[in-house]
Amino acid sequence: MQKIETFINVVETMNKKIGRAASYLIFVFMLLMVYEVIARYFFDSPTIWVHELCGFLFAGYVALTGAWVLLEKGHVAVDIIYQYFPDKAKDLADMVVSIIALFMFTVLFWQGYKFAWHAFVTGQHSHTLFAPLLWPVKTMLPLGSLFFLLQILADLARSIIQFKQRSTR
């Protein structure tokens, strides 16, 4: 039991740190957009790279903060019925949702991995004038999915522990 709780704590600590660090990407995004506006409208010298780089930063922001948002219960939840469940039924519902999410994010991880690996092996570039390599941004999908999977496993483990504790009372 202690190993499972250690796993939960390690995953939650990791996702908090990664999520908080990645959340600062939004400020980099904003600074780059301000730079682009100033360059374009005040100096009549637009860039060829800012919009694309901002898209990449935003993709990393979304992918790397998702598990942290899950940990903090920040995703949209429709709990109209759920709020009336007894605690054990809530634990069961959480377990069912976690198992479904495990399947979905396993598929997302696997397909994202294939997507990123193809971009890496082929040296894929975007079809723009800037033409950066695409594998760094495409790697965010399997990486974010992996962190999400770990958080789902931690949530599932916590629900199982809570369910067992409530059953022994």
Could you report the per-residue pLDDT of 47-57, keeping only the tens digit for each?
A: 999 999 999 99
User: What percent of the chain has a predicted confidence (pLDDT) above 70?
Assistant: 99
What pLDDT shows up at residue 76? Answer: 78
Q: What does the DSSP assignment read for 120-158?
A: HHHT-B-SSSS--BSHHHHTHHHHHHHHHHHHHHHHHHH
Q: Give the count of domains, the chain.
A: 1
Whether the pLDDT of residue 167 is over 90: the answer is no
| Mean pLDDT score across all residues of the chain | 92
| 28 Cβ contact partners less than 8 Å away, ≥ 6 residues apart | 57
Report which of 121, 141, 125, 130 is spatially closest to residue 53, judged by C-alpha positions: 130
Whether the pLDDT of residue 163 is over 90: the answer is no
What pLDDT shows up at residue 169? Answer: 67
pLDDT in tens, 55-106: 999 999 999 999 999 998 888 777 888 888 888 888 898 999 999 999 999 9
DSSP 51: H
Integer Cα distance of 31 and 53 in angstroms: 12
* Parent domain of 29: 2-167
pTM passes above 0.75: yes
